[in-house]
Amino acid sequence: MWDNIWNSAYEYFSQSGFGQFYWGNAVMIGIGLLFIYLAIKRGFEPLLLVPIGFGILIGNVPYNSATTPVGAYDGPVNEEQLDYYATAEVEWGGRSYAPWEKIENPAIGKILLHEKTADGVRKARALREKSGGRAERAKLEQLGPTDYFAVMVDRTSKLARQGGAKDQPQALGVVDVMQGQRVLVGKPTEQEDGRVVLAPVTAGDESQFPVVVSAERQNPFHASPIYLIARGVVWDFFPPLIFLGLGALTDFGPLLANPRVILLGAAAQFGVFGTVFGALLLGFTGAEAAAVGIIGGADGPTAIYTCSKLAPDLLGAVALSAYSYMAMVPLIQPPIMMALTTKRERLIRMPAPKNVSKTLRIMFPIIGFLICAFIANAALPLMGMLFFGNLTRECGVVDRLFKTAQSQFIDIVTILLGLSVGALTQASSFLTVSTIGIFCLGMVAFSVATASGILLAKLMNVFSKTEINPLIGSAGVSAVPMAARVTQMMAQREDPQNFLLMHAMGPNVAGVIGTAIAAGVLLSYFGN
């Protein structure tokens, strides 16, 4: 009896969060708590960081996805979510181990597994780029005759890790590697010495297309609620909805009153395209470089929309990076603004913006949408929702739609989007070297975008009779209205009576349009 009680207690503990815990969970939970602290204690964009921070906690509570599918990745899987890898057995201590098996010497085993799986990942990435797609028979047929076959769901490069599945599969199917990570394996064969190993992949062998998951797991009614909520990010319908609310909140009056500041919003896109070229030089693929470069616009919804189409496996890192830099605008921009402007320039006062007619305000979202959509077709969903939201604001005959879009509607979508972004950053796929590279490149992109706007404003003053304060050039990034508020703060440090907020809103809203157009250009070029 006591043995049964002990075994039951041990089994329960091993399946609980304590039994499934590993160091990556602690790191990500710490990051989530840091976001919440910065939002509550420091006031850094709490509407963004509170839901994202709590979403990180939700996404990184350890659990066993085989028995408790509750995470953002626990739901139906389709062929587009699969990457195919060449793998090999590991020889250690006179015995061969499959990639998902636990090697008896943990320290050495971890090294061996890492070396073997890294080889497979590099080869698979090269094959994927060469074939230009995922899950293609041609790609599988290119695998060498001595390679073994495994597939990881959701594009994680961690085929296995210490503490994975205990038993080898005895038939075609899925091996769970804890916390939402599943390895799909080819048909095992029994060797003369009794070992069960994976059969080599051969062309024409249908076993190279294994069963993805059980019929029950493929049923969307059995998917995790967090999985269903996160589809709004993965399937791209949260970003356009955010743009609808943003359009209803945005006053394009400062831009229409001083049209030349649209150039400052355009200048900020140098950060986007400059970082794309930099990422290409560092070895990122074209699609990955475009997904990382768009962080420079400091526009979370646009970054999500672009990345989910070009590099879905980088979505968590890109989204978290974009929203982090949006929240940290008050920390990142002031040193750049001080370094690139003189005291005299920061003291420049600008005349009050002139009034804009109601007719022009109504015509702008219609004409602006048509022009932007013709220039960058791929950004049509974002542009359409942004300008439609603004039309509800300006036309004056749909107050109920306007008031809903700018309040409860955008608040609900912001909550769901923030929780989803956080929940998608699981430690097993987020804590990688590429994530560090993405955050570093994102910082470069955002800094270059800020500097480009300031420098163009200084250049415009050389040729213009009416000077503009170069500080408003930093507001060309599309972090609305954070960047404009920072401009106002920096101006009033030098002159408490200098009010630049409305002037800064011009390039700020121009940056929203510019980043969406830049995203459309990148999607059109790299999306094929």
104 has pLDDT over 60: no
pLDDT computed for residue 218 by the predictor: 60
Across residues 157-173, what is the average pLDDT?
31
114 has pLDDT over 60: no
Which residues, at least 6 apart from 247, have a Cβ–Cβ distance to it below 8 Å? 365, 385, 386, 387, 388, 389, 390, 391, 392, 393, 405
Domain boundaries defined on the chain: 79-220, 235-526
**Residue among 505, 504, 480, 513 at smallest CA distance from 45:** 480
Structure confidence by residue, pLDDT tens digits, 202-212: 333 333 333 33
Report the amino acid identity of residue 501: L
Residue 171 pLDDT grade (very low, low, confident, very high; cuts 50, 70, 90): very low
Residue 71 pLDDT grade (very low, low, confident, very high; cuts 50, 70, 90): confident
CA distance 83 to 129: 12
248 has pLDDT over 70: yes
| Percent with pLDDT over 70 in the chain | 72
pLDDT computed for residue 35 by the predictor: 95
Residue 117 · residue 159 · CB < 8 Å: yes
CA distance 143 to 16: 39
pLDDT computed for residue 433 by the predictor: 76
Please provide the average confidence, as pLDDT, over all residues in the chain.
76
pLDDT computed for residue 40 by the predictor: 95
**Residue among 238, 216, 204, 259 at smallest CA distance from 415:** 238
**Residue among 481, 497, 484, 499 at smallest CA distance from 453:** 484
Across residues 291-300, what is the average pLDDT?
88
Q: How many CA atoms lie within 13 A of 491 on its CB side?
A: 27
Backbone angles phi, psi at 61, to 5 degrees: -70, 120
CA angle 469, 473, 478 (to 5 degrees): 140
| Residue 81: DSSP 8-state | G
Among 100-109, 227-236, 411-420, which stretch is predicted with the lowest mean pLDDT? 100-109
How many residues appear in the chain? 528
Q: How many CA atoms lie within 13 A of 206 on its CB side?
A: 1
Report the amino acid identity of residue 444: V
Please give the residue that has the higher pLDDT: either 269 or 208.
Answer: 269
Residue 446 · residue 477 · CB < 8 Å: yes
Across residues 219-248, what is the average pLDDT?
89
Backbone angles phi, psi at 185, to 5 degrees: -120, 160
Please give the residue that has the higher pLDDT: either 89 or 191.
Answer: 191
Residue 504 · residue 487 · CB < 8 Å: yes
pLDDT computed for residue 480 by the predictor: 85
Across residues 19-42, what is the average pLDDT?
90
Residue 486 · residue 240 · CB < 8 Å: no
Backbone φ/ψ region at 510: left (φ over 0), alpha (ψ -120 to 50), beta: alpha
Which residues, at least 6 apart from 143, have a Cβ–Cβ distance to it below 8 Å? 86, 127, 149, 201
CA distance 517 to 239: 15
Please give the residue that has the higher pLDDT: either 397 or 126.
Answer: 397
Structure confidence by residue, pLDDT tens digits, 405-457: 999 999 999 999 999 999 998 887 777 777 888 888 889 889 999 999 999 99
Please give the residue that has the higher pLDDT: either 303 or 10.
Answer: 303
pLDDT computed for residue 193 by the predictor: 58
Structure confidence by residue, pLDDT tens digits, 360-374: 999 999 999 999 999
143 has pLDDT over 50: no
Among 213-217, 284-288, 297-301, 427-431, which stretch is predicted with the lowest mean pLDDT? 213-217
Residue 528 pLDDT grade (very low, low, confident, very high; cuts 50, 70, 90): low
**Residue among 491, 494, 498 at smallest CA distance from 473:** 491
pLDDT computed for residue 437 by the predictor: 84
pLDDT computed for residue 74 by the predictor: 77
Residue 138 pLDDT grade (very low, low, confident, very high; cuts 50, 70, 90): very low
Which residues, at least 6 apart from 503, have a Cβ–Cβ distance to it below 8 Å? 254, 258, 261, 350, 353, 468, 469, 472
Q: What does the radius of gyration of the chain's CA atoms come to, in whole angstroms?
A: 26
Please confirm whether the linkage preceding 301 is cis (ω < 30° from 0).
no
CA distance 438 to 290: 11
339 has pLDDT over 90: yes
Q: How far is CA 130 from the centre of its chain?
A: 25
Do the bridges between strand 182-185 and strand 196-198 make them parallel or antiparallel, or are there none, so unpaired? Answer: unpaired
Q: What is the dihedral of CA 387, 388, 393, 394, to 10 degrees?
A: 70
**Residue among 186, 170, 184 at smallest CA distance from 217:** 184
Please give the residue that has the higher pLDDT: either 382 or 174.
Answer: 382
268 has pLDDT over 60: yes
